[in-house]
Amino acid sequence: MCVILALESSCDDTSASVLRNGKILTNIISSQAIHEKFGGVVPELASRAHQRNIVSVVNQAFKESGLTQKNLDAVAFTNGPGLIGSLLVASSFAKGLSSSLGIPLIGVNHLQAHVLANFIDDPKPNFPFLCLLVSGGHTQILKVTDQITYEIIGQTLDDAAGEAFDKAAKVIDLPYPGGPNVDKYAKHGNIDAFEFPTPKIQGLNFSFSGLKTSFLYKIRDGLKDNPNFIKENTNDLCASYQHRIVSYLTGKLVKASKQTGIKEIALAGGVAANSALRERINELSIKHRWNTYIPQRQYCTDNAAMIAITAYYKYLAKDFSTKEIKTFAR
């Protein structure tokens, strides 16, 4: 029997999950609406909200699992990357509970957890596999050889794909969080309405700074001729911009698959919830005969279930943390 309580508080979602023998029993997430009026996450407000929410999400996770603290074999938490004030909430809670119960403490890397979200449900990827990890803070292509070992073979040189979505949404006054709203409006738009350049970066690396600038210039030039440019073209702008980001991401992934000969392909991270990206990956899986793995949407955004499944493999390897908490900011 292996029962683990996992906690996630790296940004603005407070989450708790209970795992038993490698199976997720509960995944409770409390999101923070307070950031909407600011158009982005305010770190100090996020950490305060985590302090208010963490006890309730833990209690709910236990209640719905049918288990209690007495059943625990370990406590896991996100130790980074993330917002330092937010990270400290879950890590402090986990340390206190671990010490009081005399059970192991397991620190989990947030990015590794996103990758291993693909091991929550069946079917699970076969090793080695390639994982396109796309979030608000990171964009990487990873070669994964086991649950613990991976190699970064491509990554962004500046901004992340998720940030590119969010910044574009802010420019055209879409509500926070921006990325999901771009996806929402894009469903009703024409992907060929506007042209955005594909960044010219060699190899498997990415760059999104130029793409963000081109979107800004497109809006600036459009408003010069038509004050209602944004209002009249929101759907098409979102569709065209999203199409370029998705084609850029998947183009690099196809290249990585050809270079490595690996046809086991996984998707991970918050942007993995994007409907166009998920559809394109499935299309490419047919074209290139890939075996593809995409987590449920609830396991793509920040959540404790991915921390729990990663902690499970670390528990089996007896890879425990010391009681001295170390957290790592973005």
The share of the chain scoring above pLDDT 90, in percent, equals: 88
Q: Which has the higher per-residue pLDDT, 328 or 79? A: 79
Asked if the structure places residue 330 within a domain, the reply is: no
When divided into structural domains, the chain yields a total of 2
Pairing mode, strands 150-155 and 264-268: unpaired
Average pLDDT over residues 109-114: 96
Distance of alpha carbon 219 from the chain centroid? 28
131 and 87 in a single domain? The answer is no
151 and 91 in a single domain? The answer is no
Q: What is the DSSP string of 248-285?
A: HHHHHHHHHHHHH---EEEEESGGGG-HHHHHHHHHHH
135 and 280 in a single domain? The answer is yes
Contacts of 204 (CB under 8 A, 6+ apart): 141, 153, 154, 252, 255, 256, 259
The span from the CA of 79 to the CA of 327, in Å, is 5
Q: What is the DSSP string of 302-314?
A: S-HHHHHHHHHHH
Mean pLDDT over the full length of the chain = 94
Q: 27-32 — which CB contacts under 8 Å span 24+ positions? A: 27/61, 27/298, 27/299, 27/303, 27/304, 27/305, 28/57, 28/60, 28/61, 28/64, 28/304, 29/57, 29/298, 29/301, 29/302, 29/303, 29/304, 30/56, 30/57
Average pLDDT over residues 48-61: 94
DSSP H helices in 117-160:
none
105 and 133 in a single domain? The answer is no
pLDDT recorded at residue 32: 72
pLDDT recorded at residue 327: 53
The span from the CA of 37 to the CA of 53, in Å, is 20
Asked if the structure places residue 327 within a domain, the reply is: no
Asked if the structure places residue 48 within a domain, the reply is: yes
221 and 307 in a single domain? The answer is no
Query: Token digits for 113?
Result: 């957890």
| DSSP 3-state percent helix, strand, coil across the chain (nearest 5) | 50, 20, 30
Asked if the structure places residue 282 within a domain, the reply is: yes
152 and 286 in a single domain? The answer is yes
Residue 328 clears pLDDT 60, i.e. is over it: no
77 and 156 in a single domain? The answer is no
Average pLDDT over residues 36-51: 78
32 and 175 in a single domain? The answer is no
The span from the CA of 17 to the CA of 93, in Å, is 14
pTM: 0.94
15 and 64 in a single domain? The answer is yes
165 and 286 in a single domain? The answer is yes
Residue 175 clears pLDDT 80, i.e. is over it: yes
Query: Token digits for 326?
Result: 């170390």
Q: At CA 19, angle to CA 13 and CA 25, rounded to 5?
A: 80
Q: Model confidence over 199-258: pLDDT tens digits? A: 999 999 999 999 999 999 999 999 999 999 999 999 999 999 999 999 999 999 999 999
Asked if the structure places residue 324 within a domain, the reply is: no
Average pLDDT over residues 139-153: 96
CB of 106 closer than 8 Å to CB of 78: no
110 and 150 in a single domain? The answer is no
Burial of 146 (0-12, 13-18, 19+ CB in 10 A): exposed
Q: Which CATH number do you get for residue 106?
A: 3.30.420.40
Q: How confident is the model at residue 11 (pLDDT cuts 50, 70, 90)?
A: confident
Asked if the structure places residue 326 within a domain, the reply is: no
Q: How confident is the model at residue 323 (pLDDT cuts 50, 70, 90)?
A: low
Q: How confident is the model at residue 33 (pLDDT cuts 50, 70, 90)?
A: low
The span from the CA of 132 to the CA of 145, in Å, is 14
Asked if the structure places residue 15 within a domain, the reply is: yes
The span from the CA of 3 to the CA of 123, in Å, is 22
237 and 149 in a single domain? The answer is yes
What is the SS3 string spanning 212-252? HHHHHHHHHHHHHHCCCHHHHHHHHHHHHHHHHHHHHHHHH
pLDDT recorded at residue 224: 96
Asked if the structure places residue 62 within a domain, the reply is: yes
pLDDT recorded at residue 34: 65
In eight-state DSSP terms, residue 97 is H
Identify the domain containing residue 10 by its residue range: 3-115+302-316
CB of 159 closer than 8 Å to CB of 199: no
